[in-house]
Amino acid sequence: MSDDVSVYQRQGFGGALPVEPPIGLLIVDFVVSFASPDVFGGGNIGPAIEKTEGLLATARERGWPVAHTRIVYADDGSDGNVFSTKVPSMLVLTEASPLSQIVEELTPVDGELVVRKRTPSAFAFTDLAAWLTRRGVKTLAIAGCTTSGCVRASVVDAMDAGFTPVVLTDCVGDRAIGPHEANLFDMGQKYAELMERDAFLKVTEAA
């Protein structure tokens, strides 16, 4: 056991969270720009998208509420904020830009929520929490990118809103593996349950 893990365990971190139905699925920012290493992508984002294809298909078969997110700024950048000041290149993600569209293999269908956001969290200044609550969701499975950015922010806010976040470790990705692994560790110790996709789908077969 590493010294880091032993410190967390000694201090009482890393408790297990119950995976209780109803289940919902949140797919964070799997859009064209984050799928492309030439724009905002790289690392293990591509494989995470591939894993999420099967996850989304199963969620639809089981009738789970599904929400997707996109980062969308005004065409003229008039709604820019601290996030876009820190990362000015994000302002290319406008409503009609091909770069801001959800990747084709995860295209939303009727009845699925598409959240447009201008900050990392899927919950900040959006109606996502209300939408999930209305559908009775208790456990929120989370896929998307980046692990260290918008996924992490959404996980923390999901917990704050009273949902049990389950980060599907092979369905989230980052442009660099170091931040991906570090943030998975931290979320698993403090905010969320960590599970691989297939294990989660097995546990929730009856949900």
Question: In the prediction, which pLDDT does 207 show?
Answer: 79
Question: In the prediction, which pLDDT does 95 show?
Answer: 98
Q: Is-catalytic flag, 171?
A: no
Kindly state the DSSP code that residue 98 receives in the 8-state scheme: G
Q: Which domains does the chain have, with CATH numbers?
A: 21-69+102-203 (3.40.50.850)
* pTM for this predicted structure: 0.97
Six token digits for residue 83: 């996030």
pLDDT tens over the chain, length 207 residues: 467 789 999 999 999 999 999 999 999 999 999 999 999 999 999 999 999 999 999 999 999 999 999 999 999 999 999 999 999 999 999 999 999 999 999 999 999 999 999 999 999 999 999 999 999 999 999 999 999 999 999 999 999 999 999 999 999 999 999 999 999 999 999 999 999 999 999 999 987
- Which residue of the set 150, 151, 155, 195 is catalytic? 150
Q: How many CB atoms lie under 10 A from the CB of residue 168? A: 24
Question: In the prediction, which pLDDT does 108 show?
Answer: 98
